Amino acid sequence: MKILISGHHVEITEGIKQSIENKFAKISKHYPSIAALNSTITVEPNQQKVEVTTNYEGANISVKASDKKLYSAIASAAKKLQIALARRKGILTSKFHQKYIVEQSDQFQLAS
C-alpha cells in the first residue's frame, strides 16, 4: 500500500512518516485491495489535525481526527479508518449474502 503524506503548516519529519506507516500497516494487511492512502496533517494553535482518505471497493472513505498531540491524532485516525473500512466491508458482504425470493408462476406447475 502506498501512503502519501502531505503537511499543512508543518514539515513532515522521518518520525511522523514512521508513525503513520506503523499505524496503517495493520490496515494494509487486513484490506489488501487498498492501493493508496492519502493523509494530510494540519497544525493549528493547540490542535493537530489528521485527515485520511482512501478508495475501497468503489467508495471513497475519509476520516478526520484531531488532538493536542500529533501522534495521538494519528492513532485516532487509524482507529477510525479501521472502523469505517469494517463498516464498508460489512455492507458489501450483506449485499453478497442477500437472499432472493423466486416466485413460482401459475404457468409452470410441478408434475406429481
Domain span at residue 20 reads 2-90
Q: Is residue 76 included in any domain, yes or no?
A: yes
Residue 112 maps to a domain: no
CATH code where residue 52 lies:
3.30.160.100
With respect to residue 102, please indicate whether it lies within any of the assigned structural domains: no
Sequence-distant (6+) residues with CB within 8 A of 86 are: none
Is the residue at 86 inside a domain?
Answer: yes
- For residue 97, tell me if it sits in a domain: no
Q: Report if residue 35 sits inside a domain.
A: yes
Does residue 59 sit within a domain? yes
- Please give the tally of structural domains in the chain: 1
Per-residue pLDDT of the chain (112 residues; tens, 9 = 90+): 899 999 998 899 999 999 999 998 888 888 888 889 999 999 998 999 999 999 988 889 999 999 999 999 999 999 999 999 888 877 666 666 666 666 665 555 555 5
